[in-house]
Amino acid sequence: MVQTSRLVLASSSPRRRQLLAEAGYEFSVVSPPIEEPAQWRETVSPAGLAEALAYFKARCVAEIEPAASILGADTVVAAGGRLMGKPDGRRQAERMLGELSGTRHAVITGVALLGPDGWRRIDSDVTYVTMRPMRPAEIEDYLASGEWIGKAGAYAIQETADRFVERIEGSFTNIVGLPIELVGRMVEQIGGPRPDGTPGIAC
């Protein structure tokens, strides 16, 4: 029987906090104290990378909050065989947007849920996004907005970048950064409370 405990979100992302709160979960927030290791980006699949980074974030916070259940997440974009995380500056963001323009690409979010008794659940979700071709002037205007900062693939669909998107196949919240449907299934699997307060199924 898994012992349930309070939930801690291991993230500095205001978008993930908002999604989890809007879904009805009670939680606290602790930002991971260590930068994610960039060298992993060339060695694993998109899903494997997202899951590994989610676990890395959750593991760091679990050392600070050993009595809590820790939820970590990380989002990457895969297009044309290339992995894209968060751009490190405007020039890289411009390159990313140019490569995503007119493509159907994958947005993958890894989710890790760690418990105080040593149990863990790690999974990922993928959503496919079809983006219309963007004119250079449109890319420049978007870069000037600053919305790309801290966003995987250099765009935020929940803000004004939705005007570039023609089609979504899968979870919208996954694109924003936290697949709430997957989180709900994982929390229920380990016996945690649903957003309505009723207990999940301990395993």
* Residues annotated catalytic, as ranges: 74
The rounded distance, in Å, linking the Cα atoms of 81 and 92 is 17
19 SS3 class: helix
How many whole angstroms separate alpha carbon 49 and alpha carbon 54?
8
User: What separation in angstroms does the CA of 172 have from each of 47, 128, 183?
Assistant: 17, 10, 14
Round to whole Å and give the CA distance between 19 and 25: 9
Return d(Cα 33, Cα 77) in angstroms, integer: 24
Give backbone dihedrals phi and psi of 49, rounded to 5 degrees, phi first.
-65, -50
- 198 is written with which tokens? 């009723």
